[in-house]
Amino acid sequence: MEYKQLVVVICSIIKDNSILLIERNKGEYRGKLALVGGKIEPGEHIKDAAKRETKEETGLDTKFSSLKGLISEVYKENKNKKHFLLYLTELIPTNAEIIESNEGKLKWVNLEKLEDYKDQLIPSDYMMIEEIVKNNRDGYFECEMEISQINQDLEIKRFEKII
């Protein structure tokens, strides 16, 4: 069994009641919509990682607003496990023009129409937007995801607020 742990920052960037998402073009989430973000570099603070990842993926300059949540996510695929420690941040864009990078296509999605994109989103990102961003339920969450044996799609087994 392979076990991998990653520390990641993800970013909630909202403008005019729309959230900025990226359609990943590489890795295991290729083709899925996701929140902007990536790995925290050694010695890097959360707010700095959030601003750096946002700038790299979107071209946006941002102001760090808050830490919305910490999500401990375990992702099982066959006999392998990945454990993501996800720091969900809220950033405020200070410029309006997004510039796509080699990470994927960018898309503003109206929060009222998020349900229309549920099947296109990484399941845990969808839950974070619904539970934490839209409903202002900041805190610590635990999430378990795995690959469905039926259709090979990612599915949530548990997403729970702990504190």
Determine the pLDDT at residue 149. 72
Beta carbons of 46 and 85 less than 8 angstroms apart: no
89-114: per-residue pLDDT in tens? 999 999 878 998 888 999 999 999 99
Pairwise pLDDT comparison (153 vs 126), residue with the higher score: 126
| Structural domains for the chain | 3-161 (3.90.79.10)
Strand 18-24 to strand 3-15: parallel, antiparallel, or no bridges (unpaired)?
A: antiparallel
Dihedral in degrees, nearest 10, Cα atoms 28, 32, 35, 41: 20
Determine the pLDDT at residue 135. 94
Determine the pLDDT at residue 39. 96
> What are the residues whose beta carbons fall under 8 Å from the beta carbon of 22, sequence distance 6 or more?
33, 34, 35, 36, 57, 58, 103, 104, 105, 106, 107
122-132: per-residue pLDDT in tens? 999 999 999 99
30-73: per-residue pLDDT in tens? 899 999 999 999 999 999 999 999 999 999 999 999 999 999 99
* Backbone Cα Rg of the chain: 15
Rounded to whole angstroms, the Cα distance separating 94 from 109 reads 19
Beta carbons of 52 and 44 less than 8 angstroms apart: yes
